[in-house]
Structures are given as C-alpha cells and as structure tokens.
C-alpha cells in the first residue's frame, strides 16, 4: 500500500465526512433517525478527552491502537469512529414498577449487546422512563464496555489451521447462572441457547459447545454469564507455544 493510499483518519470519520450520495432507491430496513445514527453524530462530535482528540486528529485510527494507548475510552463517539460497523441487538426489556406517594412509578430496564461479528463484543444495561431512551442508553453502555475476543482452534476434531471457536474450555458466571464454553469442530455451529447464541454471533464465534447450570431462564444473567466467559479468556495465561498450537488471534482477523 502506497503512502497516498494510507488512511489518515479513523474509518468512521471517513464515512462521516465523505460526500453523501443520493439514494434513488433507499433501503426501507435502514434506520433514518438521525439521533440513532452514529455516523451522523460523528459530524457534530467535539472531543472532550485526550483519546478523543487523538482520534479526531488522526493520530489513532484503529481500536487496537486505542487500547494500546492505555487511555480510558469514555466517549461513545470514539468507538463509533474506530469500529463503524458495529451491530446492536436488544437482549431483554423489563418493566419495573414502584409504588410511591404520588402513585405508581414505571421504568424500563434494558440489556443490549453490540458487536462487529469479527472479534469485538460489548454488553450493557440501562434504565429509563421510556423504552426508546433505555435502549439508546443500553447500546451506549455496551459500546463503552467493548472487549476483544480471543478465538482459535482448540478442538481435537478440527484439522490444523485458524478457527472461529474458543481456544480452550472457559467458564463464566452471573448470579446463579453458569455457562461453560468448549471448543467445537468447524461446522458444528453454536450449541447453546438463543440468548447465548446472540452474544456469540456478535462476537464472531461460529462454532462452540456449551454446558449451563443454574437459572438459565433469567435472560439477563444468561447473557452476562456468556459475556463473562468470553472476558475470562483474556485473563487466562497462555504461553507463546500454546498460542501458536491453538492458532489464537485477538480481535479482528484482518486487523
């Protein structure tokens, strides 16, 4: 790649400041609400942190470089600028009622999950008086809780080479719910409940075996236990020889 083709801005900022093309046939499935469009929000973004200023100035153009800087990510626009292809999914919506002196108070508790289906996933929760506001806040919390996922080829049934499964057996817990993720051969699919499957799909895991204990009907704890299992992979000590043997890679494949 020549110097004149080397990107000088984060990919999200490139999309935000690129000239808009007229869509003759707009996609009806695409959201048109400006308040929910992260690319539109980047056009009026004014950084308030050192990391945000570095991203805006073009000194940091990848999420990997942002993590390596050691600076905390406190602005959601930083994540939108560095990983603009994040997808979001609402895991659960609960209505919470509370009796007060003035009457019954109703609030909504929402859990949302975001991911790029290629090595990054985040999980967040938020409360608000309206469902739309709670969803928006939960997605923001999930983006600020984004983690890199280590994937590999840890199944004895697979042929040598990179894989899209967990590199080794790992456990995750949330309250009474326990989730155990185990490596699976390529083509096995996600052998896990629908809630855990949503989290793993957004993380980029394609094959996995699982075992669960506790109250798996509690959707929030089930999703959190699956997310914690992925997080625990990063805290497990792995030697360089094991990393090569299991073909472990962190984050995006084509980073």
pLDDT in tens, 139-181: 999 999 999 999 999 888 887 888 899 999 999 999 999 999 9
What element of type H or E holds 191?
A: strand 190-191
CB atoms within 10 A of CB 47: 16
Domain regions of the chain by residue span: 6-82, 87-146, 150-250
Cα–Cα distance list, 143 to 4, 191, 251 (Å): 32, 26, 15
**Range 150-250: architecture per CATH:** 2-Layer Sandwich (3.30)
Mean pLDDT, each 10-residue run in order, the chain (255 residues): 60 82 48 65 92 93 91 94 93 88 87 94 95 95 95 86 90 95 92 95 94 92 96 91 89 71
pLDDT of residue 39: 87
CATH of domain 87-146: 3.30.160.20
Fold identical between 87-146 and 150-250? no
């Amino acid at each position: 790649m020549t110097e004149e083709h080397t990107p000088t801005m984060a990919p999200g900022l490139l999309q935000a400041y690129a000239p808009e093309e007229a869509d003759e046939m707009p996609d009806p499935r695409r959201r048109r609400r400006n308040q929910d469009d992260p690319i539109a929000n980047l056009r009026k973004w004014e950084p308030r942190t050192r990391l945000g200023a570095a991203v805006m100035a073009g000194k940091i153009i990848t999420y990997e470089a942002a993590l390596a800087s050691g600076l905390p990510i406190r602005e959601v626009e930083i994540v939108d600028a560095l990983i603009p292809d994040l997808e979001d999914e609402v895991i659960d919506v609960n209505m919470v009622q509370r009796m007060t002196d003035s009457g019954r108070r109703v609030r909504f508790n929402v859990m949302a999950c975001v991911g790029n289906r290629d090595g990054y996933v985040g999980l967040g929760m938020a409360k608000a008086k309206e469902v739309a506001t709670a969803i928006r806040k939960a997605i923001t919390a999930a983006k600020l809780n984004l983690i890199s996922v280590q994937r590999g080829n840890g199944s004895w049934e697979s042929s040598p080479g990179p894989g899209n499964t967990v590199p080794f057996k790992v456990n995750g817990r949330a309250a009474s719910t326990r989730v155990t993720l185990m490596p699976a051969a390529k083509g096995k699919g996600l052998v896990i409940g629908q809630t855990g499957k949503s989290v793993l799909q957004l993380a980029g895991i394609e094959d996995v075996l699982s075992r669960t204990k506790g109250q798996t009907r509690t959707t929030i704890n089930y999703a959190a236990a699956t997310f914690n299992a992925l997080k625990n992979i990063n805290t497990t000590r792995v030697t360089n020889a094991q990393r090569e043997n299991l073909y472990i890679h962190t984050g995006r494949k084509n980073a």
